[in-house]
Each structure stands twice: as structure tokens, then as C-alpha cells.
Structure 1
Amino acid sequence: MTYQGTKNEIRRGPITVTLIIGAFVAILNETFLNIALSDLIRYFHVPATTIQWLTTAYLLVIGILMPVTALITGWLSTRQMFLGAMTLFLFGTLIGGFSLNFSMLLIGRIVQAAGAGLLMPVMMNTILLIYPPEKRGGAMGLIGLVIMFAPALGPTLSGFILSILSWRWLFFLILPLAVISILIGVRYLQNVSEVTKPKVEIRSIVLSTIGFGSLVYGMGSGTSGGWISLVLLGVGVLALLGFVWLQLHLEEPVLDLRVFRYRMFTLATLLMILLMMALFATMILLPLYMQRVLLLTSFSAGMILLPGGLINGLLSPLTGKLFDKFGPVWLSVPGLAIVVVVLGMFSRLTTTESALYVTILYAVMMIGLSMVMMPVSTTGLNQLPKSLYPHGTAIMNTLQQVSGGIGTAVFVGIMVGTQKNYLNQSAHPGAKKEQILALTHGLGTAFLCALFLTLTAFALAFFLKRTEAADVAGKPSGETD
């Protein structure tokens, strides 16, 4: 065991604060460049389908790493995982800030993502270990504040920075925050996980890397990749099938798929996959709409997103406590209903919408999301026995990040494809007005597809039930309304 003392001596407050600060710095970067994408398109002279890889590759790397985090957490202590992840993130930030071309910038984002991919599971697993089930809602609400507030704040903060400085400062200003996070971790973080040194299964690691990597890369390449995209998708599916088969036949699997014996975990994971696809698509499509259709500055676009981010951050701890009291259904169903309505209105955006209208819609959407994200994930994880916490958090986080990457790639591809079809049928495709109308049409179609995914999640939310922790033997526990 690697506990520093007994459970009574574990200082939950300092540990939670340390994890929150580290997670905030890392998660902020998932959307930190979204507002800068239009500037980067011009700076590096690359198309939108290329620039979106700064977001997709970030999520892709996290998705590749997370399946093996259950294995890594068995070999490294809590402190080693946290400090190693934040150091990787620091190096990636340095590379990004000093990038000489697009390829170097992409490498910096990939290294940043490697750190973030290791950090998320250690955060979730530590919270599950140090808080009892009846208090996890409030703790997860604080984590939800970071998971939702950081990416929501990213575009606003980066928009302000871009209004006075170059895009490189989006990296340089993160450096001191990463250093501070590392210093706080050295001082306050305790080891609360158990080092079991599980067997390293190379075949599983290779198959999961090829599977998730090929799947997201194939999706990201879209129609521009031609037959290569189809081959990659096929390779990804086959590799993942091989990975699943291997996990079911190993005595010590890298990812223990027995977590899917627990109905609420399976349902919660599916809900989060659908929601993350729609969420990450919105986080990249909306800034493109504001800057390239409404012709707003980076700072103005960021300010439009600020109220929603603030509201979401303030509500996440409250919804966590409400979850402890009322359970998941009474929060997730109305929350998803709100998201469905807003996405429907986003799909009908025109070229003349006011900034206030977009601000209100986005703020309302973030209210809905605050009622869904942490209650749903906590419901699923609460049902797992302690021995499956690392596997449950790894699987849920992996599928969320991969689905976010796929959602970003797919919806940007839908936007670009619809835009091209519109221009092909236009009598004056070179006219600026026609190009703006084409982009608006493409964005509307992409938002409409995101709406259909969220409607599916809304229907599934009615089947959520409050869960109790599984017994020591790992048998599924009862579920209550």
C-alpha cells in the first residue's frame, strides 16, 4: 500500500485543491486555441480541415493514453502520476510557444495532451478513493466546476489575450500556472492509491493505440483523406475488436471490461459519449460562427462565451449537492431538455444574429450541461467496486475524449462538406456574401446533427437510477429510483 498514514490522516481539502488546480491548467487547453483558429489559419496558411487537428489531435492523444492509465496507476504513486503529467504538460507548452511552423505547433499540442491524458484519470480515481459515496456528489461537483468551467473560460481568456498579444502568448502565459501547479503538488499532494505493479501486457497496449489512433485519425481526415480514411477506419475497428477480445481472455487485463456488467455505468458512459460529441462540436463551431459569419473580433467572441462559463462554474458544485439529495434523473432529464432546445436554435442561426442573442443561448446551454455532466458520470462510477475504480475512470474518460475528438472531426467535416455543396450550386461562389451564407448553412447542418445525438441522450436519461456501491465481491448492487 502507498497510503501516507491511515485514511483518517488523509487531508481531503489540500489533495482536492491540488488536483483542481492541475486539472484547470490542463483542461483549459482543450478549448484555449478555439478562438485563435481563424488567426492560425491565416498565420500558417492552412485550411479549416487542417487547423482543427490542433483540437482533434489533443483529444486523440488523450484517448490513446487513457486506456493504459489503469495500468500506469498500478505502477506509479499518486504523486508520481500527477507530477509526471504536469511536467509533460509544461514541456508541451514550451514547444507550442516557440513553434516555427504548424507541424511544430501540433507537436507541442500532442505533448501537452500526453500530460493531460495522464492527469484526468488520477484526479477522478483519487476523488473516488478519498470520499465516501454519500459525499461524492459534492466533491464531483467541484471537479465538474473545473471540467466544465475551464474549457468554457478558455475562449474568453484567449480572446482577451489575442486582442493585445500574439497567439504565442496563449502558451507563454500558461507556463507560470503549470509551474505553480507542480510546486503545489510537491508540497501538498499525498499518495492515496495502491501500487500493485500489474503485468504489462504489450499486445493490449499496441492494439488500443492502433485502434483508437486509427479510428480518430480516419474520422478526422474525413472525405479529404479518400480511401486512406476508409482503410484507417477499418484498421481501427479491427484493432479495437482484437483489444476487446484480448481483455476478455486475460487474467490481468489492461482495461477490465467487467465494468460493463454494471448497468448504470454502461448507460452513463453511453450518455457521456453522445454528450461529449455534441459539446466539443459546439465549442469549436460557435467561435467559427462568431468570427467568420458575424465578423466579431477574438476578444468579442470570447466575451460572448464568458457568462455561460461563469454560470456553469458556479452551478456545478450546487448540482453536485443536489445530486446527492435527489439522484440523477431529476437533474439530467431537464438539463438535457435545455441542451436539446438550444442546439435546435443554434441550427437555425442566420448571418444577422445579435451578439446578445448568442450570449443568452450559450449561457442557457451551459446551465443545462451543469445539470448533466457530473451527475451522470458520478451515477455510473458510484456503482463500481473499489477494485474497478481505475478501470472505470480510464474507460469512461477514454471514451469521452475519443468521442469528443471524433465529434469535432465529424462535425467540422459536415460543416465543410455542406459549405462546399452550397457553393457548388451557387451562381456566384466567389462572392463574399455567398461564402458567408455557405458557411452559415454548413454550421446549421452541423448543429442539427449534434441535436440528433443529444435527443438520443435525452431519451436514455429517463433510465438513469441512483446507484449504491457494489459489494466487496464486486457483484452489481441494487439500483434505486
Structure 2
Amino acid sequence: MTTSNTIKQEIKRGPITVALIIGAFVAILNETLLNIALSDLIHYFHVTPTTVQWLTTAYLLVIGILMPVTALLTGWFTTRQMFLGAMTIFLIGSVICGFAPSFAFLLTGRIIQAAGSGLILPVMMNTILFIYPPEKRGGAMGLIGLVIMFAPALGPTLSGLIIASLSWRWLFYLVIPLAAFSILFAARYLTNVSEVTRPKVEIPSIILSTVGFGGLVYGMGSSAEGGWVGPTFMIIGAISLVLFVWRQLVIKDPILDFRAFNYPMYTLSTVILILIMVTLFATMILLPLYLQRALLLSSFAAGIVLLPGGLINGMLSPLMGKLFDKFGPRWLVTPGLLIVCVVVWLFSRLTVSESMLYIIILYCALLIGLAMVMMPVSTTGLNQLPKRLYPHGTAIMNTLQQVAGGIGTAVFIGIMVTGQKTYLSHVSNPEAQTQVLHALVAGMSHAFFIAMIIGVFSLILSLFLKRTIAPKEEPAEE
């Protein structure tokens, strides 16, 4: 019997999984918690939509910068140290956000929050891979899907309900005790399941990774404002990423082992997830803006519209994990992506007079489709990797997903703003409120249509997915 199997028998999976899920839920909830509040924050701090979107883009940017080094960090720190440290950082950021006197302080707090969030998800994924055998991972990953999909979906709803009766600051005041409870619960029940190997710290790789991922997302965000800054940072980021990948392939101890891409289902799954995350975050930021600024709904009403979809998604994710264990990925992923593509296409045809019921139905259908896609795709890819590549595989996959989300947020806000300007440039009275509303919807239609095209690419790729077989343990681990 292997040492790892002995450890799996000794640990208690239930308390460990619950501890991880509580912390991850609180942290991931913040990725979309402010989406409904963006309109309020624009007026409160007197900033533009392209400025306020940095509360989302910067959050994802920091996560994208941190995730490449998580494989390194998990070799230097225990499971408890990583998780408790990450949640403490997240708690500090939440306090700063709650009491922020200016937009700059609020953005700083969001960046600190992101520093904690960026470490939590890889810890959770690696721990699940370690304590559950491949044939049971679908169900476990389904529980993770409840967090990864349900938390962001629930964020706008909670935000709308809170803002309707309280100020935007309560979005952070209420998170503070939840984060504190997560720390206390994990301190009591979370045990160490990973091995501290203390790998070599490769400083040049860390610098190239930071400049690469950070420059790319920052450039995408700045491109919405026009000028030379965005394209310049995008070029710098792209060059740095090329050098980073090259260095990982030639050094002995890479911080990200790109040999994970030698496994075809892992590569295919990662590409599909990148495309889906772009589409997902485009929808998550555009739809609340549409509800509030085009349909003129209150924060409370917008939250109610988004609530059923979030609840359905949360309930379906564990079920989809069980179905994945039984049937494999293809019978879930391809129909799910077809649903996503159809719904996003219908979003691109919205007008200024749609009914709330119609939006509720579309949003529920979208999240049903996503529940059928996200966890089955990621589990398919990770199951094909050998154990030594678990930290690297999860770090690569999570990094690219978060960067894709950040790019999607920045790019689709930029497409929306450009579409608005184009529409208004062709009307006789661009200052009229009616024309402003039609311009907003026109800009969003352009953005949703591009998101639909990206979704079609992922649908085509899903036709090549197949169930993966876990590789045999390496001799060194026997």
C-alpha cells in the first residue's frame, strides 16, 4: 500500500471539504458581489464606467498574477498555513473596503482581498485532488462547482438585496464576520494533507509571470479608455509571457510545469474553460448594468431577477458532478454549451422593453448550461494528470481562467462603450434620454454577440472531449 493511500485513509474528508468550501465561498462571492453596486459606486465616487470596472478587473488581475506561483507556495507551506494565511489577508482587505473614504482606498482593499482569494482556490482544488480518488472526484468537484458557480451567481442578488435597504459598505461589513468564521472553523477542522518539499524559488520566472499576466490584463482594461497605454502594456505582457513559458521549459525546477499540456484532454479542457470564462464574466458584468441602466430596475429588483438562476445553479452543480462520474463529460458538456450559446445570442437581441420574466428564464437557462459545463470540463482535464503535476495543473488552469475573466470583463465593457459611442454618433439628438438608453442596449448587443461567437468555438471543441483514465502512480510514490 502506498504512503499516499495510507494518508487518505487517516484523514477525515468531510470536515476538510467543508472548511475549504466555506472559505472559498466567501472569497469567490466577492468576484461578482459589486456588479449590482457598480451603478451606485459610479454616482457615489463620481467616476466613469471605465474607471469603476477596475474594481472587478483589478481583482481578477491580482488573482491572475498570484495563481502562477501557487504551485511554488504549496511546496513551501502546509495546507493550514496557506489557507489560514489567505483568509486572513482576505479579511484585512474586506475591512479596508468597508471603511474606504475614497475610490482609491476601495480599489486598494479590493486588491488586498484578491491577494487572499488568489491563494484559496488552488489550495481547495489541490486538496480535493489529493484526498479523493479519480472515480469519486466528480461528486467532490461538483461540491466545488457549487462554490465556484453558485457564489459568483449569488453575488449580484445579495448585492441588490443589501443595497436596497443599506449602503454599498454593507457588502463588506457582512463579509467580515463570515471571513472571521471561516478562519476559526478552518483552524479547528482543517488538517495538513500536502507535503512540504521546499522547491527552488525561481525569481526570474516570478518576475516574468507577474509582468506577463499583469501587463496583459492591465492592458486590456486600459484599452477601454483609449490611448497608447493599453496596447503598450498588452505588448509588454505578451512578450513577457512568451519568455516566461520558454524559461519554464528549459529550467530544471519550473514554477509552472507546462508539461501538463502533454496530456491532450488537459489541454483541450483548459482551452474550453478559458473561452467559457470570457463569456461568463461578460454576462455577469453586462447583465446587471442592463437591468439597472436600460430597464431602470432598482438594485433590489435586479437582485430578485438574478436570484432564481443562482439558486438553480447551486442545486445542480453537485448533481452534475454525480452524473459526470456515471456518464463522462461529453453527454453533459456539449448540450450545456449549446444552451449557453443560444442564451447569449438571445441576450444580444435584448431591447429596452423586455419583461423581467423573460430575463429570469434566460438567466436560469444560462446557469443550467454552465452547471453542465464547468466542473465536468475541469475534472476531465485534471484526471488525466499524474500526481506530481496536480499543483501545476490546477495553477495553470486557475490562472488562465482568472486572466480570461479579467480580460473578458475589460474587453466587453470596452466593446459596450464603443458600441454606445457609435450609436450616438449616428443620431440627431444624442443627449436625449431615449437615445442614451437605446445606445446602451446597442453597445451591450455588440458585446453579447461577440461573447456568443466565443461560446460557439468552445461548443465545437467540446465535441472532442472524452472520459480520461487516471495515470498509474509513479514508482517513486509507491
- Can you list the C-alpha shifts for 1:260-296, whole angstroms capped at 9, x where unaligned? 0000000000000000000001000000000000000
Partner of residue 20, structure 2: 19
Give the deviation of 1:471 after TM superposition.
2.6
Equivalent residue for 1:162? 163
Asked if the contact 2:224/2:411 (under 8 Å) is kept, the reply is no
Matched, 1:139 2:112: no
Task: Report if the CA contact (8 A) 2:223-2:229 is conserved.
Answer: no
Aligned residue in 2 for 1:10:
11
- After alignment, is 402-411 or 462-471 more displaced? 462-471
Equivalent positions of 1:300-379 (< 5 A) are: 300-379=301-380
Which whole-Å CA distance do the structure 2 matches of 1:471 and 1:2 have between them?
15
**CA contact under 8 A between 2:50 and 2:224: conserved in structure 1?**
no
Q: Is the 8 A contact 2:224 2:413 kept in 1?
A: no
Take 1:145 and 1:472, find their aligned partners in 2: how far apart are those partners? 30
* Other-structure match for 1:479: none
Partner of 1:101: 102
Which amino acid in 1 is paired with 2:234? L
Give the residue type in structure 2 aligned to 1:94: V
Corresponding residue of 2:188: 187
CA RMSD of superposed structures (Å): 1.4
Read off the aligned partner of 1:71 and give its amino acid letter: L
User: Residue 429 of structure 1 aligns to a residue in which SS?
Assistant: coil
CA distance in 2 between partners of 1:150 and 1:267 (Å): 26
Shift of 1:81: 0.4
What amino acid maps onto 1:61 in structure 2?
V
**Cα offsets for 1:247-267 (capped at 9, x unmatched):** 001110000000000000000
Measured at CA, do residues 135 and 251 of structure 1 come closer, stay the same or move farther in structure 2, by a change above 3 Å? Answer: same
Instruction: Flag as ranges the 4+ runs of structure 1 deviating above 2 A.
Output: 1-7, 471-474
Distance 1:417 1:225 in 2: 10
Residue identity in the other structure for 2:31: E
Deviations 1:216-255 (A, max 9, x none): 0000011524112111111001100110010001110000
* Structure-2 residue corresponding to 1:172: 173
How far the C-alpha of 1:436 sits from its partner, in A, is 0.3
Distance 2:236 2:190 in 1: 41
Match of 2:55 in 1: 54
TM-score, normalized by length of structure 1? 0.97
Q: Which whole-Å CA distance do the structure 1 matches of 2:447 and 2:468 have between them?
A: 35
Q: Which amino acid aligns with 1:18?
A: A
Shift of 1:9: 1.2
Contact kept, 8 Å, 1:2 with 1:192, in 2: the verdict is no
* TM-score of the superposed pair, with normalisation by structure 2: 0.98
CA distance in 2, matches of 1:127, 1:225: 43
- Equivalents in 1 of 2:467, 2:423: separation in Å? 47
- Contact residue 70 and residue 254 of structure 1 kept, 8 A: yes
Structure 1 residue 439, shift from structure 2 partner: 0.2
Separation in 2, partners of 1:180, 1:472: 38
| 1:2–1:191 contact (8 Å) kept in structure 2 | no
Q: Does 1:219 align with 2:194?
A: no
Structure 1 contact 18–189 (Cα < 8 Å) conserved? yes
Question: Any conservation in 2 of the 1:4–1:10 contact (CA below 8 Å)?
Answer: no
Corresponding residue of 2:231: 230
Cα deviations across residues 133-180 of structure 1 (Å, max 9, x unaligned)?
Answer: 000000000000111000111111111100111000100000000000
Equivalent position of 1:241 in the other structure: 242
Amino acid at match of 1:438: A
Unpaired runs of 5+ in structure 1? Answer: 475-481
- Secondary structure at 1:470 match in 2: coil
Q: Tell me the alpha carbon deviations over residues 355-414 of structure 1, each in whole angstroms, 9 at most, x when there is no partner.
A: 110011000110000000000000000000000000000000000000000000000000
TM superposition shift of 1:2 = 12
Aligned pairs, how many? Answer: 474
